[in-house]
Structure 1
Amino acid sequence: MRGFTLLELLVSLTLGLLLMTFLIGTLFATQQSNRQTQQLVQLQQNSQMLVSLFQAELPNLMFFAGRSLADVAHASHQLPPVLGDCVAEFDTGSFPVKGQPYLSLYAQLVQRHKHLNCVSQPKAGSELLQFKRIVGNSVLATQMRANRFYFETSAASSRFVNSSSAELTPDSRYWPLSHQVFYISEQKHAGDTIPVLMRKRLIRNAAGQSIMDTDSIMDGVERMHFEFGLDANLDGQVDYYLSTEQMQPEHWQQQKHRIINIKFYLLLRSLDEDFSYQNNQLYQMGQQWFKAPSDPFRRLLVSSSVAFSNTRL
């Protein structure tokens, strides 16, 4: 029986190598395509969750049960100081202080040595958003929850209380208070630095202490940008927009113009690197631009605009 000649063996080996190269290339391309698809799907899902979150939180800004911002700033309280309260340069934090400004909405560009005292490891150059508002419907004194704070409205006055406050009356209405701060923090994970969207919230802990609780909302949120629509002639229409960096104390205090709209821009980044991909795209975030640093991360930019449902100031 005749065996294979050397030439036939070489031809067979060559064909085998070509076939193996083709299969490896196909497998690599499939893995690359799957990685791309997974990252894009994850970015889309995260973007939908974030937009839903902001769309739920922002529309009722400025709502304090029919009281003006000036009325709220003069509301009384006998509450203990909040541990780790978020106090701005011209804002007293969770509750008013007599003779000092009290803001229901405030945003800030994070600088390396200048940002809210309550946030930890904020991403320099990012923005943070702080707001206080009434959330949900009013309750009776007997329905108040121990871990919340409330804004009491009565014919005589307004004040901030909790379920342990003295002189809670059955004829007053108690509106749940929300004080939140959203910011981006840079955190280490498995040797990598990951941008994380963080939130601080005013609560009472199990011991009854007033604190700003911290939780992470989502990994991979790289940048936030806000622009605020101001009503200059009080006709209920936006006359102009200012970015966070352009806003001045008088705008936040709304002495002349009302803030009635907010645009938000969120730039999401994949968590895993794809070294077959190089991102050098330019992303427009309102009045700002972000240039990707030619890195192996995919990104997705989402934006939306929210008109405040309650603009009585």
Structure 2
Amino acid sequence: MAKYLSQRSQTGAVLLEWIISLSIGLFIIGGITGFLAASKRTTESGFHIEQMLESGRIATELIGRDLQLAGFFGEYTGNTMVRGASVDVMVADLAADDDCIIDWLGTGDEGSFPTVSGRFSALFVGTVRENNSLNGQYDCVADRSNLVMDSDVIGIKRVIGSPVAAAADIEGNRFYFAGNSVVARIFDSTNSVANWPSEAAMPGRQVWEYQHIAYYLDVSQQSGLPVLRRYHLIRNDSGVGKIAIEGNGPLVEGVERIRVLLGVDTDLVVDGIVDDYLSPDEVTPQQWSENRVLAAKLFVLVRSLTEDSSYVNNNSYELGDVTVDSGGDHYRRMLFQSVVSLRNMVIHGGSS
């Protein structure tokens, strides 16, 4: 009988040890599982943050650099752009369907090249509204059915790169701007040797690639992501110029909204100091013609490329005068902001 009780006691002790061991094991496994889940969330969050930082940095630097150099034309910077007078345009205008046309100050249509009236805008900012209207401007972009609503389109004219050394370096699909402090010439590869101004004809001239650039956002039909794209001015094989998408894909994925406010000198007497940042619609033709637009405040809102199921975004983001609500979705977002000095701007070559 005693032996039987001893065996029962031993069996109970083993069972108890087994239950305790199992409990400890389950506790450890639960801790490891929780740690791995937390580690996964941290890794996922870190990946999203890194991706947004990179996307925001690239987009802000690309747009900011071109804004800063809007209106830069080498030695000719700061002069009026009057076709047939101070500027000799030796290329044909782009067809309306191939160009980004504006009439945003109500003084006549203007495309990629200077006009005989002196109408020349080195910077254009318009907001995509309902039906992609852009207030009737920049139809080259506004006809796209997948544009991001309430985001800005930015058009910039300037020279890019480094000065071209010789006519032999002219590329067939580009346009060029030669100028000194007094006169300028726009030409392409057609008879480039003959069109290349000599030092005697244009003393101290420099020759650069001439560009008309347009930044905008749309939703990729392939990925469904909001993307930053850029149009640029090229010359095709038949010798006709056009505004075309740069490359086959987006510049930056995940850019959800861009907004630009313009820094304006609003004093009665121009003193060259920014007094207020206004939406492009609020800047008057007189302020443009008097070169009162001195700076641009750029806002870029980026989002993660994929959702984070463990995160709910109820934040609102202030892009100057525009508020973007996340609406409780699962995308992480970051807002980038920079202020750019528009040192080269001459919006009106002549009177308005």
Query: How many residues get paired?
Result: 309
Residue aligning to 2:66: 57
Structure 1 stretches of 5 or more lacking a match?
Answer: none
Query: Aligned partners of 2:45, 2:159: CA distance in 1, in Å?
Result: 42
1:79 matches 2:92: yes
Residue aligning to 2:77: 66
CA deviations over 1:185-223 (Å, ceiling 9, x no partner)? 111345xx2110110011124554422221321000111
Q: CA RMSD in A?
A: 2.9
Structure 2 stretches of 5 or more lacking a match?
Answer: 1-6, 348-352
Larger mean CA deviation between 41-50 and 259-268 belongs to 41-50
Query: Aligned partners of 1:33, 1:107: CA distance in 2, in Å?
Result: 39
Higher normalized contact order (CA 8 Å, seq sep 6+, divided by chain length): 2
Residue aligning to 2:318: 284
Residue aligning to 2:216: 183
Letter in 2 for 1:152: A
Decide which of 213, 221, 230 is 2:244's aligned counterpart: 213
**How much does 1:59 deviate?**
1.9
1:107 matches 2:140: no
Q: What secondary structure does 2:48 align onto?
A: helix
**How much does 1:134 deviate?**
2.3
Larger mean CA deviation between 44-53 and 6-15 belongs to 6-15
Query: Aligned partners of 1:266, 1:227: CA distance in 2, in Å?
Result: 12
> Contact (CA 8 Å) 1:110, 1:126: kept in 2 or not?
yes
**How much does 1:7 deviate?**
5.2
Query: Aligned partners of 1:278, 1:189: CA distance in 2, in Å?
Result: 26
> Contact (CA 8 Å) 1:226, 1:264: kept in 2 or not?
yes
Letter in 1 for 2:41: Q
Residue aligning to 1:18: 27
Matches within 5 A, 1:52-201: 52-64=61-73, 65-66=76-77, 68-71=79-82, 75-77=87-89, 78-81=91-94, 84-90=98-104, 91-99=109-117, 101-113=119-131, 114-115=133-134, 116-119=138-141, 120=144, 121-139=146-164, 140-153=166-179, 158-165=184-191, 167-168=194-195, 169-171=197-199, 172=202, 173=205, 174-190=207-223, 193-201=224-232
Residue aligning to 1:236: 272
Q: What secondary structure does 2:140 align onto?
A: coil
Letter in 1 for 2:139: N
Alignment TM-score, normalising by the size of structure 1: 0.86
> Contact (CA 8 Å) 2:303, 2:331: kept in 1 or not?
yes
Query: Aligned partners of 1:105, 1:278: CA distance in 2, in Å?
Result: 38
State which structure, 1 or 2, has the greater radius of gyration over its C-alpha atoms. Answer: 2
Letter in 1 for 2:276: Y
**How much does 1:61 deviate?**
1.6
CA deviations over 1:80-138 (Å, ceiling 9, x no partner)? 52562111244522123445843111101101320321123210111111010123454
Q: What secondary structure does 1:71 align onto?
A: coil
Query: Aligned partners of 2:175, 2:341: CA distance in 1, in Å?
Result: 26
> Contact (CA 8 Å) 1:279, 1:296: kept in 2 or not?
yes
**How much does 1:67 deviate?**
5.1
> Contact (CA 8 Å) 2:158, 2:210: kept in 1 or not?
yes
- More helix per residue: 1 or 2? 2
Alignment TM-score, normalising by the size of structure 2: 0.77
Query: Aligned partners of 2:329, 2:286: CA distance in 1, in Å?
Result: 40
Query: Aligned partners of 2:69, 2:260: CA distance in 1, in Å?
Result: 17
CA deviations over 1:169-197 (Å, ceiling 9, x no partner)? 3234333212100111111345xx21101
Cα distance change of structure 1 residues 7 and 137 upon mapping to structure 2, 3 Å threshold:
closer
Letter in 1 for 2:226: P
Letter in 2 for 1:79: A
Cα distance change of structure 1 residues 237 and 27 upon mapping to structure 2, 3 Å threshold:
same
**How much does 1:40 deviate?**
1.1
- More strand per residue: 1 or 2? 1
Q: What secondary structure does 2:58 align onto?
A: helix
**How much does 1:155 deviate?**
8.7
